[in-house]
Structures are given as C-alpha cells and as structure tokens.
Amino acid sequence: MSLRHAVLGLLAESPASGYDLMKLFNASLASVWPATQSQVYGELGKLTTAGLVEIAAHGPRGRKEYAITEDGLTELRHWLTDIEPSGPQRHDGLLRVFFLGIVTPLEAQTYLLHQAERAARARAELEHLDETAEWDEEMISVYGRIALEYGLRISAMQEEWARWAADEVTSAKARKASELARGQHKGQGPHTEGSAGERE
C-alpha cells in the first residue's frame, strides 16, 4: 500500500480539504499506514500535478477542496484489483526470536512475555475503538470495521503465540540449544556459566 492510494481511497468516498482529509486519515487509516500532515499535503500536490486529483472548490482563507478524477479512480481500481499486496517483509520482533538462545532462558521468557503484554494492550486499544467509534453506513466506516476486526484477531493470536513461546523457551530442548549456543562464546560476555542468570 502507498500513501498515494490511501489518499485516493479517501477522496473516492467524498471530496475533502487537506485539513478534513488529515482528520479522516488519522481517524481511520493511521493505525494501518501512518503519515504526517506534511506527507499527506505533499501527496495531494503530487496527485494534483499527475491529474489524479483536482481542486474542486475554493473556500475562505485559501481553503481548497480536492476531488478524485476519473484517472484517479482508474488508478485506484487498478491498485485494488491488479496489484498484489506486498505484505510485511520485515519483522524486528520475530527476527530476535531466532537468536533468543544467546540469552538465558529467563531473559528469553521475559522478552516473550513482554511481547504478549504489548499485544494485549494493542487489543485493548482496538476494543476501545470498536466500542466508542461512531460506525455508520459510509464506505470508510463499513470497511474500516472489517479492517479493525483483522487487528483484533491478529493481536489475540500474537498474545496467544507469545505466551506459548514463553513456555517453549524453558523446555529441555530449548535449554539444551541455548547451552550449546552460549557455550560457543563461554567467557566472552556477561552470561558466563555459573552466573545467576544462567542458573534460572
């Protein structure tokens, strides 16, 4: 997904000024694709230059209302139906899991339980949004609720996985793998054999 298509998607529902567009962006898309005000306004300028968006009306104090053009709708439909989503290519949290054998089982378990707590907090925030948002019948609201459900399910899964993984890293198999890994660097770091952390 690109910011370009996010802006086109919001304007496809109704024309909006840059200010109104930013408010709508923060209320709907920011949790999926965050962007600053300068980025959104900059994208509006690029879209206008490319003929995908046009200035539909002028208001007081230099206010401009932007509307999507037919070319913009064509581009948005092309992105929606013909372009394969890229998906997340990098996950810093999961990358660390591969190397948790370098630290003690207690440290690995602490890391994973922290991830579980983060997922639980994220789910609580989404549940609060679900309960307090004014869901109506407009496109962004209807489909935004569908996107929110993804976040609710993913955060629940992430918490469940992290708690399961926290148990796994204390298993005999994981302990043995950790001992072998740390044994390769015995005496080179703070977690030498016989330390308090190692005995956990």
Residue range 105-157, pLDDT digits in tens:
999 999 999 999 999 999 999 999 899 888 888 888 899 999 999 999 999 99
- Give the model's pLDDT for residue 55: 95
Reduced to 3 states, what is the DSSP secondary structure of residue 30? coil
**Could you give the count of Cα atoms lying within 13 Å of 125 in the half-sphere of its Cβ?**
9
pTM flag (> 0.85)? no
Sheet architecture: strand order including 16-17: 16-17, 64-68, 53-58
Question: What's the rounded mean pLDDT across residues 189-200?
Answer: 46
Mean pLDDT (the chain) is 87
Other Cβ atoms less than 10 A from the Cβ of 134: the count is 6
Of 185, 173, 179, nearest to 199 (Cα)? 179
CA distance 69 to 51: 7
193 pLDDT more than 80? no
- Give the model's pLDDT for residue 157: 97
